[in-house]
Amino acid sequence: MHQTLLPRNDHASSTTSVHPASSSRLTAQAAFNVVSEPSSGKQLVALGIKNVKVRTRDLAQTINALFQPVWMMLVLVFLHLSAKQPSSHMAVKALPFLSVDTCKSTTDCTYFGYTGVPATDPMITELSGFFAVSEPNTVVPKFYTDEAAMRTAYDASPVNFVVGVVFTSPSAGLSVPSAANGSATDQYNYAILANHTAYVSHDYLTSRYATAQAYIERAAINLRRKANNKTPLSSPLPLKNDPGSADTGAGRTFISYANFVGLGTSINSSLNAFYVIFCFQAVWLGVLSILVVEKKNRIRSTMAMMGMTRDPYLISVWAMQNVQNLVTCALMIFILFVGRIFTNTNALIVWLLLILFSFNATAFGSIAAVFIPDPKKTNTASFLILIATVGSYGVCLALVFGSGGAVDPTKETLLFLIPSVALGRSINYITGVEAALGGVTFENISTGPCAKALWMMAADCVIFYFLAWYLDAVFPGEFGNPLPYDFFLRPSYWGLGEYRRVTDIAQQSATQSVETARHDPTHADMFESANVSHIPVEDREIIKVRGLRKAYSTGPGWAYNIPLWGLFFRIFYPPKSSRTTGAFSGVQKQEVVSGLDLDVHKNEIFGFLGHNGAGKTTSLSIIMGMVNPSAGSVIVNGHLLPGSDGVGRGDMDLRTLGEVQKQMGVCPQHDVLFDTLTAWETLRLYATIKGVKVLGRKTDAGSSSSNSSPDELLDEYLEHLLEDVYLKEKKNERVVTYSGGMKRKLSVAIALIGDPRILIMDEPTTGMDVFTRKQVWQLIQDSKAGRSTILTTHSMEEADALSDRIAILSHGQLQTMGSSLFLKNRFGLGYRLSLEKRRVMLADQKQQHPPQQEIQSTSVLGSHEGNVVLFDEARTTAIVQQHFSDATIDVNTTTDITYVLPTTGTAEQRNGRTAQEYIQDKKAALPGLFAQLDEEIAANRLGVKSVGLSLTTLEEVFVSLQEQEEAAKAAKEEAETSK
């Protein structure tokens, strides 16, 4: 008895096959009628929910983002509180009384001498009133006729003379000021002669200089107030009948009188403004990190490939950050007011200032994210934003606002286009007003810079968000398709006008057949001639790639040497290769895809194989519209992709990519999942992004039928999909708990959502165990109907089991393309003929061959489990070589022997026949060989128990092709070096 394994259906000839589903269960695709109708509004809501879930479940990140600015504000309160301790800060010394610890004499002392105004002058009357209510000892102002007389009195007994005041013209002889807002004659000009002899240090306070000044200034104010019928102020020093005030010094702090109260007790009010700007660092860093991480990890581009439009994405990130800002700023206001840093100002005004600045900070982060390619650089970028914001305010403060004089309103308005300047100036102003025991309210807001700052920061929001939105579209980074510079002026961007599909382009290459497009006719026999007659015309060339090229450029070396900018480039775009760092190294291009031509039809799985770095992922990224080609064209389902030859971006309908991506399902090489979401939530998210609508369950007749609501149907569908990938039990567990293989299964399920017409699977089964892998193969196989599938894999077994056609890519170029059988025949070792050796000698054989003879006539002889092995190798080999002259022995053991029956042959062997003709001739020899073997075995002449035939494996084909490529490369290099 013998068995013969012949290729099934002339196709899958390896021993691997995809078995029918374990039961008659249908896949989700087969069981449900599904359509995809993405909507920006629903995408926005879904992304918003996702953002909230991701953010709130990552508690560490939430606390950091929400409370960092609040915490910094709290530090400001601590500083403020510490500054209020009189003992610990020199700035909070109390004003000393004129009559305490001054004169030696208790009977003949001049606490306050004056000249220049008569004793009847209202100033003196006012001062006398203050002295009476505040000074612990009796203080009577003492008149001198002139300054000389006063100096003489001082010289007579300096230790008994405290302060002398010289009132000078024009105040001399004044009576009560007559005008409310008056002339120079309303003013008191005066000089204080403080006693530097009686006090060792020339201290402003201990010499009572400050005390005298405080009295005189307050008296002058009161005279003006009285003239205007306003209630006069009380004495600047505490009233002597106020219990306890003399001990604590309360109410007579020097610093309070000198306009440094409140926020500025110890810190200059400008510093407060700087500090408040500092607080917002977490805001721009937060949004910057999200955008850069999701860009780098391809989360965003993958969602885009599934049909997500860019506006909902950006808006959802901004909304998330700004809602968080509302909370953060409210907490900051709470701290500012409860900590009594601000007391009199309207809290809503400060909150509006903070919130508008935080909105702007979100926009800064978004703009920076456009230019930062790497999450590791976000801290550096954030620091640069800090330098820019704080620095711009610092420069303005130093050059414009620092002088304290009036600022030209137009200049101020223009400077407020920088949000940090608007905020800094406002905080500085509020601090000052608070210090004067006032505050900014809605009544007086127009007198300071706050109103203008609010308006300008609102305008800044419009400008900066527009910039962020625009730059993001025009410079999408490595994984994105840039929009034209004037994209927002085109109606098609806004979905207006009829959609224009660019298929009838006058583009030679795009209309060529794949054979014509192939440039090197000498290698024509490396490709199976495509017979597409059995495919309906509308199902052909669903994906059509012609002359595709992609070159990555290394950084321009010279750019690293531009002063300052060079440093920026080095930090954020470090050289990719050591060769580019030279001063004039220029741009170097590395072509990773070099002229790719291929077609993928409907209902077909197209295997895309190649060594590491061959260019598979790059090619797929171009087909998916994620990366622009350098040359060539890609047409997907009749849509010419942007970046293709012949049609400029300007001529393209800006909806094209969206239209294509709507029809795609993508399983990227690296899982793009959110760790904190569950499988169910992930599928729900992608279902909304794709706008999946389940019309109903398919009946036998193929039409929809269901009584369930749309939501229930969607849930049923997603549940079914999870069951398809064997994740149903795990559906409520977070992705972070999944194994590598489970994550891949979820990625496969995501790719299949919404019944996509184009399915792109980049190494879908990496990391899966054998059992799971077979299940996923089955799913891919079951899902191939009605769509075009491209599959890349490093598992030859997988490619062989699933692919209808296979292309092998090497160094960016197609080496070969055709069915698995074609490749095996064309490049494989040929057929493998395996014979199992008989181990029990038959009775008639024993007679024919005595033991000694037996030993000599067999090539492999031994004792195995008591049986004698008998096999006539010479006779068998002769028979095999009679039909396949170049057959060789590959494996020869005590139990089996395997012959290789080559089918390719050298040019000489082919003798004018094409490779395919030669293969056909070789295949024709098989029946003759088997007929003869059957006859010999039946007659017990060979010592053979059974025969098997298998075709070479795809793995052998792949290795053989790589070896050929390496050999050709080595030969070329040798030829070049020997020149």
Ligand X SMILES: Nc1ncnc2c1ncn2[C@@H]1O[C@H](COP(=O)(O)OP(=O)(O)OP(=O)(O)O)[C@@H](O)[C@H]1O
- The binding site for ligand X (CB under 6 A) comprises 478, 552, 592, 610, 612-618, 669
Rounded to whole angstroms, the Cα distance separating 241 from 251 reads: 13
Q: How far is the CB of 596 from ligand X (least distance, A)?
A: 11
Listed residue (53, 27, 4, 16) closest to 677, CA to CA: 53
Would you say 616 or 824 has its CB closer to ligand X? Answer: 616
Q: How far is the CB of 812 from ligand X (least distance, A)?
A: 7
Would you say 623 or 746 has its CB closer to ligand X? Answer: 623
Would you say 574 or 948 has its CB closer to ligand X? Answer: 574
* Cα angle for residues 323, 324, 327 (degrees, 5° grid): 95
Q: To which residue do tokens 């960016």 refer? A: 812
Q: How far is CA 290 from the centre of its chain?
A: 5
Q: How far is the CB of 623 from ligand X (least distance, A)?
A: 12
Q: Could you tell me if 5 and 950 are in contact, meaning their C-beta atoms sit under 8 angstroms apart?
A: yes
Q: Could you tell me if 112 and 163 are in contact, meaning their C-beta atoms sit under 8 angstroms apart?
A: yes
Q: Could you tell me if 5 and 15 are in contact, meaning their C-beta atoms sit under 8 angstroms apart?
A: yes
Would you say 652 or 748 has its CB closer to ligand X? Answer: 748
Q: Could you tell me if 880 and 887 are in contact, meaning their C-beta atoms sit under 8 angstroms apart?
A: yes
Burial class from Cβ neighbours inside 10 Å (0-12, 13-18, 19+) for residue 445 reads middle
* Residue 582 identity: G
Q: How many Cβ atoms sit within 10 Å of the Cβ of residue 127?
A: 24
Relative to beta strand 758-762, strand 788-792 is parallel
Would you say 373 or 948 has its CB closer to ligand X? Answer: 373
Q: How far is the CB of 748 from ligand X (least distance, A)?
A: 17
Sign of CA dihedral 408, 411, 417, 420: negative
SS3 assignment, position 714: helix
The secondary structure element, H or E, covering residue 326 is helix 310-338
Listed residue (312, 308, 295) closest to 750, CA to CA: 308
Q: To which residue do tokens 């990190």 refer? A: 289
Relative to beta strand 189-194, strand 543-553 is unpaired
- The packing angle between helices 820-827 and 915-938, to 10°, is 80
Q: How far is the CB of 760 from ligand X (least distance, A)?
A: 12
Our CA dihedral for 197, 199, 200, 201, rounded to 10 degrees, sits at: -110
Would you say 449 or 812 has its CB closer to ligand X? Answer: 812
Would you say 488 or 552 has its CB closer to ligand X? Answer: 552
Q: How far is the CB of 704 from ligand X (least distance, A)?
A: 40
Rounded to whole angstroms, the Cα distance separating 779 from 352 reads: 56
SS3 assignment, position 498: coil
Would you say 224 or 377 has its CB closer to ligand X? Answer: 377
Tokens of 185: 């004659």
Q: How far is the CB of 612 from ligand X (least distance, A)?
A: 4
Q: How far is the CB of 727 from ligand X (least distance, A)?
A: 25
SS3 assignment, position 676: coil
Q: To which residue do tokens 């025949």 refer? A: 825
Q: How many Cβ atoms sit within 10 Å of the Cβ of residue 979?
A: 5
SS3 assignment, position 485: coil
Q: Could you tell me if 624 and 666 are in contact, meaning their C-beta atoms sit under 8 angstroms apart?
A: yes
Would you say 936 or 965 has its CB closer to ligand X? Answer: 965
* Residue 749 identity: A
Q: How far is the CB of 549 from ligand X (least distance, A)?
A: 12
Would you say 236 or 595 has its CB closer to ligand X? Answer: 595
Would you say 228 or 553 has its CB closer to ligand X? Answer: 553
Rounded to whole angstroms, the Cα distance separating 919 from 916 reads: 5
Listed residue (595, 637, 592) closest to 616, CA to CA: 592
Would you say 53 or 670 has its CB closer to ligand X? Answer: 670
Q: How far is the CB of 907 from ligand X (least distance, A)?
A: 31
Would you say 305 or 433 has its CB closer to ligand X? Answer: 305
Q: Could you tell me if 389 and 364 are in contact, meaning their C-beta atoms sit under 8 angstroms apart?
A: yes
Q: How far is the CB of 548 from ligand X (least distance, A)?
A: 12
Would you say 455 or 552 has its CB closer to ligand X? Answer: 552
Would you say 204 or 572 has its CB closer to ligand X? Answer: 572
Would you say 362 or 810 has its CB closer to ligand X? Answer: 810
Rounded to whole angstroms, the Cα distance separating 209 from 214 reads: 9
Burial class from Cβ neighbours inside 10 Å (0-12, 13-18, 19+) for residue 560 reads buried
Would you say 604 or 763 has its CB closer to ligand X? Answer: 763
Rounded to whole angstroms, the Cα distance separating 438 from 431 reads: 10
Q: Could you tell me if 934 and 2 are in contact, meaning their C-beta atoms sit under 8 angstroms apart?
A: yes
Rounded to whole angstroms, the Cα distance separating 888 from 596 reads: 37
Rounded to whole angstroms, the Cα distance separating 206 from 195 reads: 9
Q: How far is the CB of 966 from ligand X (least distance, A)?
A: 16
Q: How far is the CB of 632 from ligand X (least distance, A)?
A: 15
Q: How far is the CB of 610 from ligand X (least distance, A)?
A: 5
Tokens of 134: 């505040």
Tokens of 472: 């993001």
Q: Could you tell me if 677 and 735 are in contact, meaning their C-beta atoms sit under 8 angstroms apart?
A: yes
Would you say 301 or 617 has its CB closer to ligand X? Answer: 617
Q: Could you tell me if 390 and 277 are in contact, meaning their C-beta atoms sit under 8 angstroms apart?
A: yes
Q: Could you tell me if 116 and 192 are in contact, meaning their C-beta atoms sit under 8 angstroms apart?
A: no
Q: How far is the CB of 606 from ligand X (least distance, A)?
A: 15
